[in-house]
Amino acid sequence: MTTVRSLTTRLQRVPLTRPWASDVTSVGVVATHVVRSDGAEGWGFSWSPQIGAPAVQALLDHDIAPAAIGRAATPGILWPDMWEHLHEAGGGGLTTIALAGLDLALWDAEARAAGVSVSQLLGRHRERVRAYGSGVNLHYSLDDLLAQVQRWIDDGFEAVKIKVGKPDLAEDVERVGAVRALLGPDRALMIDANQRWDLATATSSIEALSAFELAWIEEPLRADDLAGHAELARRIEVPIALGENLHTVHRFDDFLNAGAAQIVQPNIVRVGGITPFLRIAERAAAHGAALHPHLLPELSGQLALALPATGHEILVEDVEDAGFGALGALVDPSPVTIAHGHLVENPHPGLGLRFAPLLSAESAPSTDAIREDPS
């Protein structure tokens, strides 16, 4: 049996070219490196934009690595045991974000040992997927917002997503209306409230904004408000999309069973990696819901290529100027290319996501002394 020989981590902050807010000028990455007992190596990462990256690294170093050493290096086998091991620290959130660092590295090692990419290992079902332009842009002036949308149009995107949730609904109406006018009738427009509304505000806001032919409303309410989303779904005709802040297949099941979401958006890192993401995709398909993975297109895009057809198109999210390759964070060329509104995979082994050490690293790599199988 091939086992985990060692797991090491490195915490660093990757500066953003286009800050997401005045206090979000970089994202935290915990780069992980696994060595298996057969000598195969794999690289993965955990990710937390602003809060919690040191805690994620601590979980990996002090709780995940010692428990993983000497155990089966097959991610689908190891993941459930590791989740149970961490459960006292929480069933999801920091624990699943940390687990992704191990899971992604194990999938990377498995694919590299086979001489293929992860999408090839899983079985690629399509050669390209459509991407949509996405921006963290609620703080943009209307002119800046329209300039961003025009860049997406010029780049060939057929769908874009903007933020809503201004204190004055009239300002949201003005901004969404202006974006719709610029896009014209044939491009899709999605809006994202990022949990800013209560049920009454969401109901009235979506009623006003639905005049602009919205493809979906994302996170209109507090992310864990199951009853509120179920009630809102009964009140409105615009599809509800959510999932970037749900962390387990069980929670996705809760929302799907309640009819609280018609579109699910799991973040592959936040749910714990590829292993649970594939289970969530199965549950979404069983419920007839669309699935569009959240952020991280250099990872999400590879998985989107490998998901079976369900009758719903799979879209990947491309946040402007936020790709790891474009930010200079990777050792190798980006494993994907997004052009003319579509994502394709470039030839590479494994996941193709090895992070280059940055001068802004917050901590040096930990030693292997307590995280290596002595056998």
* Per-residue H/E/C for 4-36: EEEEEEEEEEEECCCCCECCECEEEEEEEEEEE
Q: What is the pLDDT of residue 370?
A: 40
Summarised one tens digit per residue, pLDDT across range 64-91 is: 999 999 999 998 899 999 999 999 999 9
Instruction: Tell me the mean pLDDT in the region 6-32.
Output: 91
Band the pLDDT of 365: cuts 50, 70, 90. Answer: very low
Would residue 166 show up in a list of annotated catalytic residues for this protein? no
How far apart are the C-alpha atoms of 148 and 142, rounded to whole Å? 10
Q: Beta strand pairing status for 240-242 and 214-218?
A: parallel
Catalytic residue among 163, 229, 247, 348: 163
Handedness of CA 146, 149, 154, 158 (dihedral sign): negative
Q: 320, 18 in Cβ contact below 8 A?
A: yes
Q: What is the pLDDT of residue 366?
A: 45
Phi, psi for 165 (deg, rounded to 5): 120, 25
Nearest to 220 by CA among 238, 168, 309: 238
Band the pLDDT of 50: cuts 50, 70, 90. Answer: confident
Q: How many CA atoms lie within 13 A of 272 on its CB side?
A: 30
pLDDT above 50: residue 284:
yes
Which residues share a beta bridge with 160?
133, 189
User: pLDDT over 90 for what percent of the chain?
Assistant: 90
Would residue 340 show up in a list of annotated catalytic residues for this protein? no
Instruction: Tell me the mean pLDDT in the region 179-188.
Output: 98
pLDDT above 90: residue 367:
no
> Starting from the edge strand earliest in sequence, which strands make up the sheet with 4-15, in order?
4-15, 26-36, 41-48
pLDDT above 90: residue 33:
yes
Summarised one tens digit per residue, pLDDT across range 136-154 is: 999 999 999 999 999 999 9
Nearest to 63 by CA among 36, 108, 98, 104: 98
Q: What is the pLDDT of residue 21?
A: 79
How far apart are the C-alpha atoms of 27 and 323, rounded to whole Å? 11
Helix pair angle (169-183, 199-209), 10° resolution? 40
Q: What is the mean pLDDT of the chain?
A: 94
pLDDT above 90: residue 371:
no
Q: What is the pLDDT of residue 374?
A: 45
Q: Please report, for residues 52, 62, 72, 77, the alpha-carbon distance to residue 66 in angstroms, rounded to integers and kept in the order given.
A: 21, 7, 13, 17
Q: What is the pLDDT of residue 375?
A: 43
Q: How many CA atoms lie within 13 A of 34 on its CB side?
A: 39
Summarised one tens digit per residue, pLDDT across range 200-241 is: 999 999 999 999 999 999 999 999 999 999 999 999 999 999
Catalytic residue among 161, 229, 247, 294: 294
Helix pair angle (249-257, 226-235), 10° resolution? 40
Q: What is the pLDDT of residue 373?
A: 52
Q: What is the pLDDT of residue 22?
A: 75
Q: What is the pLDDT of residue 358?
A: 72
How far apart are the C-alpha atoms of 294 and 288, rounded to whole Å? 19
Instruction: Tell me the mean pLDDT in the region 247-273.
Output: 98
Instruction: Give every CB contact of residue 344 below 8 A, 6+ residues apart in sequence.
Output: 127, 128, 336, 337
How far apart are the C-alpha atoms of 124 and 140, rounded to whole Å? 38
Q: What is the pLDDT of residue 372?
A: 54
Quick check: pTM over 0.85? Answer: yes
How far apart are the C-alpha atoms of 288 and 67, rounded to whole Å? 37
pLDDT above 60: residue 133:
yes
Q: How many CA atoms lie within 13 A of 246 on its CB side?
A: 28
Q: Where are the beta strands (DSSP E) in the chain?
A: 4-15, 26-36, 41-48, 128-134, 159-163, 188-192, 214-218, 240-242, 263-264, 290-291, 315-319, 336-339, 342-345
Widest CA span of the chain, in angstroms? 66
Band the pLDDT of 20: cuts 50, 70, 90. Answer: confident
